[in-house]
Structures are given as C-alpha cells and as structure tokens.
C-alpha cells in the first residue's frame, strides 16, 4: 500500500480537489507506465511467512537490498518499512508482502527490465538469508494467525476497521497479492473513457490472471479467491462503480465519490491519527473529530484517495487493480494488456465499442464469474473466454500501432509481452487451472510442493 504523502498547503476550496485529479493530465507523448507487484516471502527452512525481524526476515531483506543495491531507506517510528531509488519504491503490505512500485517508464520493454532487475536483486538477498518468494494471488497454506503484522500505523488502524465493515477484509490485507499497472490520461474525456473501459474489462484481467485457488491448505472453490475477497470486503470503497457510466461523469463526480468514502486516518508528524469512519467533508469544514478546528492539506487528500479500493482507481493516474499476483512472465503481461487497450486511440475506441452496451448487471455478473470460474465464466450472454480473445486482439493492435521497439530495435514492438495471455486463451486455462491440475494430479494433494515448483 501507498507510502504516506507529506507537504501540500491547506485546502481552501473544494475546487482544489478536482484540480488535483486534473493536474495528472499529460499529452500522449508524456504518458508513462508504472507497474506494481506484490509477492509473498517465506522462510526457506520452514516455509512459514517471513517475520518482520530475525535472520530470515523482512528487515534482513530490506537491509540487504539497501546495502547491496543502493536503495535509500524509508523509516516509520524508527522502523525500516520501505526503500526508494530512481523513482521506484519498495514497500510492505500488512502481512509482509514485498511490493515493488516501479518508476514511470516509457515502454513495456523498460518496465519488464525493471521487474527482472528487481526480482534478481530480491533473489540474491533472499538466497543469502534463507528466504524465498512466490507469486500467487492468495497465500495457499498459511492461516490468518500465521501472518505477521508489519510495524506501520496505518495497518493497525485498518485491521481494526476491516473487522467492522465486511467479512474478508483482513484476509485481503494479510493474505493476498496483486499485480497492477498505473496509466496516464490526457484530458477529462480521456480519463472518463479509459476508466469506463478499465472497470468494464477488469473481469478479463481477473480471469486471465486468476491465481488463487487455495486457502488454508486446500482448494477454496474459486479460481481467484482474491477477487472473491474484494467482492465481500467494504461496499463503501470497492466495486465496479456504476455511477462512472452515467452521463456527466468526470472529475467532480469522482471527487464526490471519494469524499463519501469513510476515512481511515490522518498522517501528522510521522504518526497515523485514528479517523476511522469519519468524514472528509467534515474535515474540509474544520469539523473532523480527530482534529477539531483543522482543515486538510492536499497531502491529506492524496492519502485519502489511496483508501478507496474499486477495481480501477483514479488518483493523478488510473490504476488497474483486478489481477492476482503471479509468475514472473505475467508481471510484464499485465501492463502489455492495458497499455495495448488504452494508449492507442484506435484500440481504446474499439474496447469501448465492445463494452458500451453492457448494463451494470452484466458487468457485475462478469466480475463474479471471473473470480469463481476464470476463463470458463460467463454472464449476461458473454463468455469470458470469448471476450478475452477479443480483448487480446484489440490490445495486440494497440501495441502494434504504438510500435515501440526493444532490444536496440531487434524487437519491433511490445506485442510479445502478451504471449503468456495468448497461451491461456488458446488453452482456456488460467494459472489457477494449472495449479489445480497439479494439486489433484502429481502433487496428490500435497500443497507444500507449490513453494519449490512455483517460487521466483
């Protein structure tokens, strides 16, 4: 999750909130790609999750990356909780999941090089301290009680709140991992079309990347348990946001939505102040119970925007949030999918034409079907396998039209990064299907084998 924002002057008028979102606008030549992915760390000898401290631990990982690869430390209350370098950062999810938030880069060739370099650094440090890392959408064996809590004040507050508003919030925090990509927009109209396409087609990403069929050491009945969690978490801040598809949607409507999401915290002087369930609208008027008489700063608004969790999210860019964490190859495939769909106008228009006739019931039905059945799912007469095939064709066209070469011009464009997804569509199988076949086949129900065979 996000590192807290700091700075920014007081908010003097509500107009500044929409202006903050609008300030993300960039001409197409300046659009960038920011890829984020999370992974589970474990102690090699025991296959238990990495604790925060100890020889094989999160602290040892962060210190090793800091000392060997020139990352700058990020501290909270004297504890090492992250790293920064060259526009990228490494942060911790609540249960110790290690996240790379990549630098904004021009091409998928560059972002894939960044992912490869990061995982090589992680592997080098992990091998020295007796740790391993694996990419999955949900922890396959560990119980909730097995998971450590990282020393971040935000997580202590969220853990308490999640227990009040949904059934699976703490599972999301401690036992899931994702891969996502952050993309730019050029105008309000461009943001609107991209967000609508992003929300409508998140079920395709969920189906193609479904990789969490296990929980508590056995199959859980879902192909993406992580998606199931997000459907049963906190209705006030999750979902496919039907209002985005209404006439007149734009920056102001997005601001209204975020303002109505209950707050988690205010960050002041290195500490998280409990504002659970309180109203940012009251904060604007100096009536926040947690800080009576104070008005928020723009950094408070930036922080609050990180506490909404729909399937696609707007900050100063759009985050695509529907995919499970997974194997190395798929960490590059996700940005390829969304860049192909949204960074070429012909492809974006074709993607919108594909989904613009759907109603909210169809979109939600596909979301549920993707979590349960992955590529075998269907809703409203739409089969996810057929839809995924069409979507990949559009994305491939978009990447060809972008024509961004790699490897010194030897590779003409970015289309080869879609290969892992083409294989899934050709076979009709998501990663979860492969894992289930292994579990019921040669693993003979021994899920412990997943660590040796699927770790990075």
Amino acid 162: pLDDT:
86
CATH (domain of 236) = 3.30.590.20
3-state secondary structure of 303: helix
Using one digit for the tens of pLDDT, what is the confidence trace for 248-294? 999 999 999 999 999 999 999 889 999 999 999 999 999 999 999 99
Predicted confidence (pLDDT) at residue 163 exceeds the cutoff of 80: no
Most confident among 7-16, 151-160, 380-389 (mean pLDDT):
380-389
Using one digit for the tens of pLDDT, what is the confidence trace for 58-94? 999 999 999 999 999 999 999 999 999 999 999 999 9
Burial class (CB in 10 A: 0-12, 13-18, 19+), 220: middle
Confidence of residue 6 (pLDDT cuts 50, 70, 90): low
In a domain, 147, yes or no: yes
Range of the domain at 296: 15-454
Domain count, the chain: 1
Closest CA to 311 of 264, 352, 371: 371
In a domain, 153, yes or no: yes
CA 271 to mean position of chain CA atoms = 25
Averaged pLDDT of the chain: 96
Amino acid 3: pLDDT:
54
CA 358 vs CA 92, 194, 205, 365, 371: distances in Å? 37, 16, 17, 11, 19
Using one digit for the tens of pLDDT, what is the confidence trace for 380-407? 999 999 999 999 999 999 999 999 999 9
In a domain, 10, yes or no: no
Cα-Cα end-to-end distance for the chain: 22
Distance from C-alpha of 89 to C-alpha of 38, rounded to nearest angstrom: 12
Using one digit for the tens of pLDDT, what is the confidence trace for 84-138? 999 999 999 999 999 999 999 999 999 999 999 999 999 999 999 999 999 999 9
In a domain, 382, yes or no: yes
Per-residue DSSP letters for 134-153?
E--SB-SS--GGG----S-H
3-state secondary structure of 456: coil
In a domain, 2, yes or no: no
In a domain, 3, yes or no: no
Closest CA to 11 of 236, 205, 280, 230: 280
In a domain, 6, yes or no: no
In a domain, 285, yes or no: yes
């Amino acid at each position: 999750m996000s590192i807290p924002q700091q700075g920014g002057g007081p908010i003097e008028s509500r107009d500044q909130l929409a202006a903050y979102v609008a300030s993300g606008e960039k001409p197409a030549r300046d659009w960038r790609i920011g890829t984020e992915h999370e992974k589970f760390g474990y102690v090699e000898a025991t296959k238990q999750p990495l604790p925060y401290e100890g020889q094989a631990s999160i602290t040892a990982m962060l210190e090793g990356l800091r000392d060997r690869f020139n990352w700058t430390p990020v501290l909270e209350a004297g504890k090492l909780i992250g790293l920064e370098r060259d526009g990228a950062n490494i942060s911790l999810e609540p249960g110790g999941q290690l996240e790379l938030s990549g630098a904004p880069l021009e091409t998928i060739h560059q972002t894939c090089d960044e992912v490869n370099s990061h995982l090589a650094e992680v592997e080098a440090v992990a091998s020295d301290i007796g740790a391993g890392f694996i990419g999955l959408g949900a922890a396959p064996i560990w119980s909730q009680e097995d998971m450590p809590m990282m020393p971040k004040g935000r997580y202590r507050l969220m853990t308490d709140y999640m227990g009040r508003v949904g059934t699976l919030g703490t599972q999301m925090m401690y036992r899931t991992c994702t891969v996502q990509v952050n993309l730019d927009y050029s105008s309000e109209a461009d943001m609107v079309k991209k967000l609508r396409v992003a929300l409508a087609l998140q079920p395709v990403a969920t189906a193609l990347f479904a990789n969490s069929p296990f929980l508590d050491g056995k199959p859980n009945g879902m192909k993406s348990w992580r998606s199931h969690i997000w459907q049963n978490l906190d209705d006030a801040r999750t979902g496919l946001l039907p209002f985005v598809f209404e006439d007149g949607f734009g920056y102001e409507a997005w601001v209204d939505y975020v303002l109505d999401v209950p707050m988690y915290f205010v960050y002041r002087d290195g500490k998280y102040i409990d504002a659970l369930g309180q109203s940012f609208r009251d904060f604007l008027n100096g009536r926040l119970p947690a800080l009576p008489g104070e008005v928020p700063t723009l950094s408070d608004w930036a922080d609050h925007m990180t506490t909404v969790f729909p399937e696609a999210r707007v900050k100063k860019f759009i985050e695509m949030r529907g995919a499970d964490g997974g194997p190395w190859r798929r960490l590059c495939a996700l940005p390829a999918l969304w860049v192909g769909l949204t960074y070429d106008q012909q492809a974006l228009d074709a993607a919108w034409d594909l989904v613009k006739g759907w109603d909210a019931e169809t979109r939600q039905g596909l979301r549920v079907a993707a979590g349960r059945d992955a590529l075998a799912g269907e809703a409203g007469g739409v089969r996810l396998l057929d839809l995924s095939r069409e979507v990949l064709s559009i994305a491939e066209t978009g990447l060809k039209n972008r024509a961004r070469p790699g490897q010194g011009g030897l590779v003409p464009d970015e289309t080869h990064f879609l290969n892992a997804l083409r294989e899934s569509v050709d076979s009709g199988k998501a990663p979860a299907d492969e894992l289930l076949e292994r579990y019921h086949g040669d693993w003979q129900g021994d899920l412990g084998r997943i660590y040796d065979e699927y770790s990075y």
